[in-house]
Amino acid sequence: MPRAPTTLDPFNAIAEPRRRRVLDTLAHGEMPVNGIVHTLGWPQPMISKHLGVLKEVGLVIMRRQGRQCLYRVNGGQLKPIYDWAKTFERFWTHQLERIRQRAERTARQRAVDQPDPKISHKEK
């Protein structure tokens, strides 16, 4: 089975660095495709394709205005990513976490060096 489609969810969509840059560019406000083209300096078809993926997963919203297509970020779709990453926040925030982990590890290590006959080897 191949990798999941980039349009499966926001996690897959933002895996591509260029797509994140497109979102960054739109972060300040609505902008026509050409605005992004000029800002990033990439070929227009490339911008359009990435916008297509972003639109399909709902990360951006498009509205027409004459011959222009105005795109804007639909930030709410990024919340699941934020929430998930936040779950691991303690790993970089609290120095305590590192201490806790080390303690846990040495405890386990000790249990191996001097196993308790009554509890050892009982996993499942």
Report the interface residues with its own copies, using CB under 8 A: 3-4, 6, 9, 11-12, 14-17, 20, 23-24, 27, 29-30, 34-35, 38, 65-66, 70, 72-76, 78-79, 81-82, 84-92, 97, 101, 104-105, 108-109, 112, 123-124
- CA–CA separation, 25 and 82 (whole Å): 19
Question: Which residues inside 17-46 make contact with DNA, applying CB under 7 A?
Answer: 18, 32-34, 37, 42-46
Query: Residue 12 or residue 40: which is nearer to its own copies going by CB?
Result: 12
- Closest separation in Å from C-beta 34 to DNA: 3
Query: First and final CA of the chain: distance in angstroms?
Result: 31
From residue 7, give the alpha-carbon distance in Å to each of 43, 63, 69: 21, 20, 21
- Closest separation in Å from C-beta 118 to its own copies: 20
- CA–CA separation, 57 and 49 (whole Å): 13
- CA–CA separation, 30 and 40 (whole Å): 15
Query: Residue 82 or residue 117: which is nearer to its own copies going by CB?
Result: 82
